[in-house]
Amino acid sequence: QVQLVESGGGLVQAGGSLRLSCATSGLTFSNYRMGWFRQAPGKEREFVAAIRRNGGDTRYAEFVKGRFTISRDNAKNTLYLQMNSLKPEDTAAYYCAADRSLGAIATRVRDYDYWGQGTQVTVSS
């Protein structure tokens, strides 16, 4: 049974930082492309960042470039998202996702096979 469990969300002031983690089980983590998405109330889920199996390539949404960093530890079966310089518009539920397909970076919701339950990030102004 595949499980993805996010943690690290919370309430932070604008300009602050948070580090999200996504602990995985039930899959061979190093064989999966991984991504972070977010969803604000009343909005569609949107791509934030993604990383290849070996961590050698990453991609970011324009609105987080230079502020967020995605990384993975294949030995710990864990995905991370370091979020700096947070803005109120970053407020959303953040989800990690796993995709077993071969190929390059995946940025679409439909590319991913497994999802976590989400962790809430709230940025106050």
Percent of the chain at pLDDT > 90 equals 92
Q: Over 80: is that where the pLDDT of 103 sits?
A: no
**Spatial CA neighbour of 71 closest among 61, 62, 58:** 58
Number of helices followed by number of strands (H, E) in the chain? 0, 11
State the average pLDDT for the chain.
Answer: 96
CB 7 within 8 A of CB 120: no
Mean pLDDT of 25-52: 97
Check residues 7 and 104 and name the one with the higher pLDDT: 7
More confidently predicted of 101 and 78: 78
102 confidence band (pLDDT: 50, 70, 90): confident
- pLDDT reading at 55 higher than 90: no
Instruction: Taking residues 8-36, report their average pLDDT.
Output: 97
